[in-house]
A = this chain, B = another copy of it.
Protein backbone atom coordinates (compact mmCIF):
# COMPACT_ATOMS: atom_id res chain seq x y z
CA UNK A 1 0.00 0.00 0.00
CA UNK A 2 2.93 2.36 0.71
CA UNK A 3 0.90 5.18 2.19
CA UNK A 4 1.84 8.75 1.31
CA UNK A 5 4.83 7.75 -0.71
CA UNK A 6 4.03 9.38 -4.02
CA UNK A 7 2.66 12.54 -2.42
CA UNK A 8 5.42 15.12 -2.86
CA UNK A 9 4.03 17.50 -0.27
CA UNK A 10 4.15 14.78 2.37
CA UNK A 11 7.81 14.12 1.73
CA UNK A 12 8.79 16.39 4.62
CA UNK A 13 7.01 14.14 7.05
CA UNK A 14 10.11 13.52 9.13
CA UNK A 15 9.04 12.07 12.42
CA UNK A 16 6.59 14.91 12.97
CA UNK A 17 3.15 13.48 13.47
CA UNK A 18 0.59 13.38 10.73
CA UNK A 19 -1.36 16.23 12.27
CA UNK A 20 1.63 18.55 12.16
CA UNK A 21 2.27 17.47 8.58
CA UNK A 22 -1.32 18.14 7.57
CA UNK A 23 -1.22 21.55 9.26
CA UNK A 24 1.96 22.43 7.38
CA UNK A 25 0.64 21.33 4.01
CA UNK A 26 -2.68 23.13 4.39
CA UNK A 27 -1.07 26.24 5.87
CA UNK A 28 1.42 26.52 3.04
CA UNK A 29 -1.23 26.00 0.40
CA UNK A 30 -3.56 28.59 1.94
CA UNK A 31 -0.76 31.15 2.18
CA UNK A 32 0.28 30.39 -1.39
CA UNK A 33 -3.26 31.20 -2.49
CA UNK A 34 -4.33 27.73 -3.58
CA UNK A 35 -7.50 28.39 -1.61
CA UNK A 36 -8.74 31.97 -1.91
CA UNK A 37 -9.97 33.88 1.18
CA UNK A 38 -13.72 33.79 1.55
CA UNK A 39 -13.99 30.47 -0.23
CA UNK A 40 -14.48 27.08 1.38
CA UNK A 41 -11.94 24.31 1.63
CA UNK A 42 -12.88 21.00 0.02
CA UNK A 43 -15.22 18.94 2.16
CA UNK A 44 -13.62 16.98 4.99
CA UNK A 45 -13.95 13.60 3.36
CA UNK A 46 -12.31 14.67 0.09
CA UNK A 47 -9.57 16.65 1.77
CA UNK A 48 -8.74 13.79 4.12
CA UNK A 49 -8.39 11.50 1.15
CA UNK A 50 -6.25 14.02 -0.74
CA UNK A 51 -3.89 14.34 2.21
CA UNK A 52 -3.95 10.59 2.77
CA UNK A 53 -4.98 10.86 6.40
CA UNK A 54 -8.01 9.94 8.45
CA UNK A 55 -10.73 12.46 9.11
CA UNK A 56 -9.71 12.70 12.79
CA UNK A 57 -6.26 13.89 11.81
CA UNK A 58 -7.67 16.39 9.33
CA UNK A 59 -10.13 17.73 11.88
CA UNK A 60 -7.44 18.17 14.53
CA UNK A 61 -5.27 19.91 11.94
CA UNK A 62 -8.12 22.24 11.00
CA UNK A 63 -8.63 23.04 14.68
CA UNK A 64 -5.01 24.19 14.80
CA UNK A 65 -5.45 26.34 11.69
CA UNK A 66 -8.64 27.79 13.16
CA UNK A 67 -6.80 28.78 16.33
CA UNK A 68 -4.28 30.59 14.12
CA UNK A 69 -7.16 32.61 12.66
CA UNK A 70 -6.73 31.21 9.16
CA UNK A 71 -9.97 29.23 8.78
CA UNK A 72 -13.40 29.01 10.36
CA UNK A 73 -15.51 25.84 10.18
CA UNK A 74 -19.29 25.86 10.42
CA UNK A 75 -21.79 23.13 9.63
CA UNK A 76 -23.21 23.16 6.15
CA UNK A 77 -21.17 26.26 5.20
CA UNK A 78 -17.94 24.32 5.12
CA UNK A 79 -14.52 25.42 6.30
CA UNK A 80 -13.90 28.95 5.06
CA UNK A 81 -10.57 30.66 4.51
CA UNK A 82 -10.55 33.84 6.59
CA UNK A 83 -9.16 37.13 5.20
CA UNK A 84 -5.47 37.70 5.76
CA UNK A 85 -6.22 40.55 8.16
CA UNK A 86 -7.51 37.99 10.67
CA UNK A 87 -4.48 35.70 10.52
CA UNK A 88 -2.42 35.64 13.68
CA UNK A 89 0.85 37.29 12.64
CA UNK A 90 2.43 36.47 15.99
CA UNK A 91 2.19 32.78 15.26
CA UNK A 92 5.47 31.15 14.41
CA UNK A 93 3.99 28.96 11.70
CA UNK A 94 1.93 31.68 10.03
CA UNK A 95 4.97 33.93 9.80
CA UNK A 96 7.10 31.07 8.55
CA UNK A 97 4.64 30.32 5.76
CA UNK A 98 4.12 33.96 4.78
CA UNK A 99 7.83 34.74 4.71
CA UNK A 100 8.75 31.84 2.48
CA UNK A 101 11.37 33.00 -0.02
CA UNK A 102 9.82 33.80 -3.35
CA UNK A 103 6.40 34.83 -2.20
CA UNK A 104 7.17 37.38 0.48
CA UNK A 105 4.99 40.47 0.27
CA UNK A 106 7.24 43.53 0.44
CA UNK A 107 4.55 45.34 2.42
CA UNK A 108 4.65 42.73 5.16
CA UNK A 109 8.43 42.94 5.30
CA UNK A 110 8.24 46.70 5.70
CA UNK A 111 5.61 46.34 8.44
CA UNK A 112 7.80 43.87 10.29
CA UNK A 113 10.79 46.20 10.17
CA UNK A 114 8.68 49.08 11.48
CA UNK A 115 7.26 46.94 14.28
CA UNK A 116 10.68 45.64 15.25
CA UNK A 117 11.99 49.21 15.36
CA UNK A 118 9.20 50.03 17.79
CA UNK A 119 9.57 47.03 20.05
CA UNK A 120 13.15 45.81 20.14
CA UNK A 121 14.89 49.07 21.07
CA UNK A 122 12.45 49.48 23.96
CA UNK A 123 13.13 45.89 24.97
CA UNK A 124 16.85 46.65 24.98
CA UNK A 125 16.17 49.69 27.13
CA UNK A 126 14.20 47.63 29.64
CA UNK A 127 16.91 44.98 29.57
CA UNK A 128 19.48 47.59 30.56
CA UNK A 129 17.30 48.31 33.59
CA UNK A 130 16.08 44.86 34.56
CA UNK A 131 18.65 42.31 33.37
CA UNK A 132 20.08 39.98 36.00
CA UNK A 133 23.63 38.64 36.01
CA UNK A 134 22.36 35.52 34.33
CA UNK A 135 20.52 37.51 31.62
CA UNK A 136 23.65 39.51 30.87
CA UNK A 137 25.70 36.33 30.64
CA UNK A 138 23.21 34.90 28.15
CA UNK A 139 23.41 38.00 25.97
CA UNK A 140 27.20 38.04 26.05
CA UNK A 141 27.34 34.34 25.23
CA UNK A 142 24.97 34.82 22.30
CA UNK A 143 27.12 37.63 20.95
CA UNK A 144 30.27 35.52 21.27
CA UNK A 145 28.52 32.73 19.39
CA UNK A 146 27.63 35.20 16.64
CA UNK A 147 31.19 36.41 16.36
CA UNK A 148 32.56 32.89 16.24
CA UNK A 149 30.00 31.59 13.75
CA UNK A 150 30.99 33.79 10.80
CA UNK A 151 31.03 31.58 7.74
CA UNK A 152 28.62 29.03 9.16
CA UNK A 153 25.14 30.21 8.07
CA UNK A 154 23.28 27.74 10.21
CA UNK A 155 25.14 28.59 13.39
CA UNK A 156 24.84 32.30 12.56
CA UNK A 157 21.07 32.16 12.44
CA UNK A 158 20.86 30.28 15.70
CA UNK A 159 23.23 32.69 17.44
CA UNK A 160 21.44 35.78 16.09
CA UNK A 161 18.07 34.42 17.20
CA UNK A 162 19.56 33.65 20.59
CA UNK A 163 20.90 37.18 20.86
CA UNK A 164 17.62 38.89 20.14
CA UNK A 165 15.45 36.56 22.19
CA UNK A 166 17.84 36.81 25.14
CA UNK A 167 17.25 40.54 25.16
CA UNK A 168 13.49 40.10 25.03
CA UNK A 169 13.80 37.74 27.98
CA UNK A 170 16.12 40.11 29.84
CA UNK A 171 13.51 42.87 29.57
CA UNK A 172 11.60 40.88 32.21
CA UNK A 173 8.35 41.87 30.54
CA UNK A 174 6.10 38.90 29.86
CA UNK A 175 4.43 40.55 26.87
CA UNK A 176 7.69 41.46 25.16
CA UNK A 177 9.08 38.01 25.94
CA UNK A 178 6.06 36.52 24.18
CA UNK A 179 7.43 37.94 20.93
CA UNK A 180 10.22 35.38 20.95
CA UNK A 181 8.52 32.73 18.78
CA UNK A 182 7.46 35.32 16.22
CA UNK A 183 10.91 36.89 16.19
CA UNK A 184 12.47 33.48 15.74
CA UNK A 185 10.37 32.89 12.63
CA UNK A 186 11.13 36.37 11.32
CA UNK A 187 14.88 36.09 11.78
CA UNK A 188 15.02 32.66 10.17
CA UNK A 189 13.18 34.04 7.16
CA UNK A 190 15.33 37.18 6.97
CA UNK A 191 18.45 35.08 6.93
CA UNK A 192 17.12 32.94 4.14
CA UNK A 193 16.66 36.13 2.15
CA UNK A 194 19.96 37.83 2.87
CA UNK A 195 22.36 35.04 3.68
CA UNK A 196 23.39 34.88 0.06
CA UNK A 197 25.71 37.78 0.71
CA UNK A 198 28.01 36.48 3.47
CA UNK A 199 29.38 39.95 4.04
CA UNK A 200 26.26 41.37 5.61
CA UNK A 201 26.30 39.42 8.78
CA UNK A 202 29.80 40.38 9.99
CA UNK A 203 29.04 43.98 9.09
CA UNK A 204 26.30 44.13 11.69
CA UNK A 205 28.44 42.66 14.46
CA UNK A 206 29.76 45.95 15.91
CA UNK A 207 26.26 47.29 16.48
CA UNK A 208 25.28 44.05 18.17
CA UNK A 209 28.34 44.27 20.37
CA UNK A 210 27.36 47.77 21.41
CA UNK A 211 23.90 46.59 22.40
CA UNK A 212 25.37 43.89 24.60
CA UNK A 213 27.88 46.28 26.16
CA UNK A 214 25.33 48.97 26.95
CA UNK A 215 22.96 46.50 28.56
CA UNK A 216 25.89 45.24 30.59
CA UNK A 217 26.66 48.83 31.59
CA UNK A 218 23.00 49.37 32.52
CA UNK A 219 22.67 52.40 30.25
CA UNK A 220 19.06 52.31 28.96
CA UNK A 221 19.30 55.16 26.44
CA UNK A 222 22.52 53.88 24.91
CA UNK A 223 21.10 50.36 24.65
CA UNK A 224 18.02 51.76 22.94
CA UNK A 225 20.12 53.68 20.43
CA UNK A 226 22.40 50.73 19.74
CA UNK A 227 19.48 48.43 19.01
CA UNK A 228 18.08 51.03 16.62
CA UNK A 229 21.40 50.88 14.78
CA UNK A 230 21.21 47.09 14.57
CA UNK A 231 17.78 47.32 12.99
CA UNK A 232 18.84 50.16 10.72
CA UNK A 233 21.55 47.95 9.32
CA UNK A 234 19.10 45.11 8.72
CA UNK A 235 16.62 47.47 7.12
CA UNK A 236 19.20 48.96 4.78
CA UNK A 237 20.20 45.49 3.69
CA UNK A 238 16.69 44.23 3.05
CA UNK A 239 15.59 47.48 1.43
CA UNK A 240 18.33 47.27 -1.12
CA UNK A 241 17.91 43.58 -1.65
CA UNK A 242 14.18 43.75 -2.31
CA UNK A 243 13.92 47.29 -3.71
CA UNK A 244 11.14 48.18 -1.31
Contacts and interface: CB of A to CB of B under 8 A. Distances in A.
A108 B178 CA distance: 12
B90 A174 contact: no
Given A64-B63, A67-B67, A88 B118 contact: no
Given A19-B63, A60-B59, A119-B118, A111 B174 contact: yes
A87 to B, nearest CB: 8
Contact of A111 (B87, B122, B173): B173
A90 B59 contact: no
A91 to B, nearest CB: 8
Contacts of A69: 181
Among A107, A111, A177, the most chain B Cβ lie within 10 Å of the Cβ of A111
B60 A115 contact: no
Contact of A118 (B56, B118, B181): B118
A150 interface: no
Interface residues of A, number: 33
Given A60-B59, A118-B122, A122-B118, A174 B108 contact: yes
Contacts of A111: 173-176
Interface string A146-182: 0000000000000000000000000001111110010
Given A63-B60, A67-B67, A90-B88, A175 B122 contact: no
A92 to B, nearest CB: 10
Interface string A77-92: 0000000010111110
A43 interface: no
A185 to B, nearest CB: 12
A173 B60 CA distance: 31
A68 B66 CA distance: 12
18 contacts: A19-B63, A56-B59, A59-B60, A63-B63, A63-B64, A64-B64, A67-B67, A85-B174, A87-B178, A88-B91, A88-B178, A89-B178, A90-B178, A108-B174, A111-B173, A111-B175, A115-B175, A118-B176
Interface of A: 19, 56, 59-60, 63-64, 66-69, 85, 87-91, 107-108, 111-112, 114-115, 118-119, 122, 126, 173-178, 181
